[in-house]
A and B are shown apart, each in its own frame.
Chain A
Amino acid sequence: MSTIPAQAKTATEEQWLIESLRNGDEAAFALLLERYQVALTRLARMYVSSREVAEEVAQETWLGVLQGLDRFEGRSSLKTWIFTILINCAKTRGQRESRSIPFSAMWNGDAEPYEPAADPERFLPPDHPETPRHWVSFPNNWDTIPEEYLLAQETRAYIEDAIETLAPNQRAVITLRDVEGWTSSEVCNVLGISETHQRVLLHRARSKVRRALEKYFDGKRPSARTT
């Protein structure tokens, strides 16, 4: 694996960050805020009722980070440590709000209901004599859609909406993995789930976002507008 140099670089940067924080360097703290505050509030939203409460949880997390700095031994990465504090704060807060989501159920891999990545009607029946379970008609090619179009404000807003409607555990995984670019082991560590369960959640979440994008693009095709 060629990840060693990157890890070494991260480790040095982390050490520098931690020491700067311990020395009361505001710029180091500002850097962490820029890096994690948005993701922290987003993740906290899974456990609490509103954006306002999520922001309070994030604030509580930062205080916990500062107060815990002297005890931080670097057994996990700084990022993992910060997000673990967040999850704990958010869970406590969520329980106090007595929200109805049972956390154990949210993270129980065996309890995940089956959700196909595509509508079963898109496939030929299992007893089809020649090509069972093959496409009835191929999905549309997105090659003609320019990359800029995918990044346009309207498309982004559409994707954000799609993420917003996901189940909370799917939303957490896709946000950390695909939006924030975390590795699967980082996500599993912080959320306390198995690699397998993480993959199932990621697959379901990605499939739903893909489906939303498809609906959006197909609606924009000239042929679809004739009705």
Chain B
Amino acid sequence: MTTANELTCQELIELVTEYLEGTLSPTERARFDAHLGTCAGCRTWLEQMRRTIRTLGKLTEESIPPESKQELLQLFRNWKKVS
């Protein structure tokens, strides 16, 4: 049974980013934590969001293409000449 004060799963998943950003009010945070404590589905959801974010953080390795770099270094040399 749920009471009016309890967060539902559908509400919780919309608060995940605020939860992770630390922008929930203390009361909202307590409701969030209370729901998590009793709901394995929402714990899984939160973990999925965390893993999604972690994976996004690993995408950065793409580095500047060598041709662009050469072109831009040339831009720098030209700027140096006139400045």
Chain B contacts of A130 at CB under 8 A? Answer: 1-2
- Least CB distance from B36 to A in Å reads 13
B14 touches A179 (CB 8 A): no
| Residue in A37, A130, A135, A150 whose Cβ sees the most chain B Cβ within 10 Å | A135
Given A130-B1, A140-B44, A142-B48; A199-B23 close (CB under 8 Å): yes
Chain B contacts of A26 at CB under 8 A? Answer: 73, 76-77
| Residue in B11, B58, B75, B76 whose Cβ sees the most chain A Cβ within 10 Å | B76
How many chain A residues sit at the interface, stated as a range, is 35 or more
Chain A contacts of B53 at CB under 8 A? Answer: 178, 206
B19-52 vs A, Cβ < 8 Å mask (1 yes, 0 no): 0010100000000000000011110110111011
In whole angstroms, how far apart are the Cα atoms of A33 and B40 in the complex? 45
Residue in B21, B23, B57, B73 whose beta carbon sits within 8 Å of that of A181 in the complex: B57
Chain B contacts of A142 at CB under 8 A? Answer: 44, 47-48, 51
Q: A residues within 8 Å of B by Cβ? A: 24, 26, 29-30, 33-34, 37-38, 55, 59, 62-63, 66-67, 116-118, 120, 123, 130-135, 138-143, 150-151, 155-156, 159-160, 174, 178-181, 184, 195, 199, 202-203, 206-207, 209-210, 213-214
Instruction: Pull 14 A–B residue pairs with CB atoms less than 8 Å apart, ordered by A.
Output: A26-B77, A30-B73, A37-B64, A38-B60, A38-B62, A55-B68, A59-B75, A123-B10, A139-B44, A141-B44, A180-B60, A202-B17, A203-B14, A214-B48
